[in-house]
Amino acid sequence: MTALTLSTAAAPGLRADAIVIGVGKGGKGPVVAPGADAVDKAYDGRLAGILETLGASGAEGEITKLPAPAGFKAPLVLAVGLGPEPEDDEAYGAEALRRAAGVAARALTGAKKAAFALPLTDAADAGAIAEGALLGAYSFDAYKDNGKDAKGNGKGPLGEVALLGGKPRDKEYKAAVERALAVTEELNRARDLVNTPPNDLDPEAFAAVAQTAAKEHGIKVEVLDEKALEKGGYGGILGVGAGSAAGPRLVKLTYTHTDATKHLAFVGKGITYDSGGISLKPAGHNETMKCDMSGAAAVFAAVVAAARLGLAVNVTGWLALAENMPSGSATRPGDVLRMYSGKTVEVLNTDAEGRLVLADALWAASAEKPDAIVDVATLTGAMVLALGSRTFGVMANDEAFRSAIVEAAEEVGEPSWPMPLPEHLRKGMDSPTADIANMGERMGGGLVAGLFLREFVGEGITWAHLDIAGPAFNEGGPFGYTPKGGTGSAVRTLVRLAELTAAGDLG
């Protein structure tokens, strides 16, 4: 894990492999951002012109490297684009700082130490830069020979980030950095879980990871195995896991605080591999299905982060874990499952399995009468078609709660969009055999899935559904602080919801 320090040192005298500065995109060319004054002075105030000569414009994510000026102990200056220069009397936003720090950290892979001289005016800026740098420095190389990639390169992530302009003795700065460390470490743990091959992360293995972390951070944990699930009547989870040699699990993580007056329940879909079951996915659609447990990874990370931050709110995490495989014992299209709630579900498509495991976990969460439930799932391809690969959809049975989640997501830099739950789509799930079918109209499939889940939320409980199918796994190239592969989508939104609830600003 990349180390992080607050530093009052001046850029010229700091021993590091690189000095990172920000560059804005001005109306007439690149503009050196605040924080880089000492560097610009060392270039006799000509840094912006030099960068422009080298082709820099200040566009977001742009990287320009140049030799450090004479007298600097660091050999390299790395200029990272912050995007459009703010209007007069305005500062660069938190997300611009996060993304720039992430791009810089990734560009400095293999370096031992870098000094970040990005715009830093208060503790919030320090937290944003720290968060971006720590997320951008992430790498997953557990399965590479000595950490080497396919080309034989063995460079590890950036070793240390020093935030210049930070105030190491200031309580607000220290708290911002400690928060960034806790949240990013748990988010990166979620990324590790998403990236782990399914032959090494079946439901039992995932549950074991949760148990270890819970013990470390004082979180109560309960794991229901196949026998306990059968005894309890969890027909949805059992039905999805019936075709796999690796049995399903339901993991309950409970974090409590003595000063808490509110209780949040987070529910995560944890399909450790999704072949589609008997409704088998075609080639081209199953290669990345190790990521179908991203919702459970997000919930797990958020609960642990809440515990590490000592938030004054009770948080329960439910991880609905199963592997969806075809076999002679697998659930068939046309089978009827009796869910934990007592309702029966006709399974028309075994590849619509996430809603089945979530339904059982939602009903279990509802039994505790929390103030609100939020479920997170890579649930539908329809949501990806609607919102693309970087934005998750938010549905809820309460418009104010839906709006609060969208606002929280925006605050932490996670793109989301409010989605409706049209009542006319519910009829499409009517079944002649059971109480409800697990499929409805094809058009609006993401909304249909949300309506299905709503059927399993206890009466009078505020609930929201986050469909993270698009942003959970990045199949393209890295950008900002987002790597290729598992992204940790929704972790920061859940943590922010817990913080707002603890502060009395939510519900």
Would you name the residues annotated as active-site residues?
Answer: 281, 355
Answer yes or no: are the C-beta atoms of 24 and 83 closer than 8 Å.
Answer: yes
Calpha distance 477→486 (Å, rounded): 12
Calpha distance 104→135 (Å, rounded): 11
Pick the closest to residue 435 from 452, 412, 447, 418 (CA basis).
452
Calpha distance 214→216 (Å, rounded): 5
Calpha distance 323→277 (Å, rounded): 9
Pick the closest to residue 466 from 414, 398, 393, 416 (CA basis).
393
Residue 66, burial from CB neighbour count under 10 angstroms (0-12, 13-18, 19+): middle
Answer yes or no: are the C-beta atoms of 206 and 272 closer than 8 Å.
Answer: yes
Torsion from C-alpha of 166, 298, 194, 295, nearest 10 degrees? -150
Answer yes or no: are the C-beta atoms of 292 and 378 closer than 8 Å.
Answer: yes
One-letter-per-residue 3-state SS of 298-360: HHHHHHHHHHHHCCCCEEEEEEEEEEECCCCCCCCCCCEEECCCCCEEECCCCCCCHHHHHHH
First CA to last CA distance, the chain: 36
Calpha distance 484→477 (Å, rounded): 6
Q: Please state the length of the chain.
A: 507
Instruction: Mention every residue, 6+ apart, whose C-beta is less than 8 A from residue 382.
Output: 444, 445, 446, 447, 449
Q: Please give the helix or strand (H or E) that residue 87 lies within, else none.
A: none
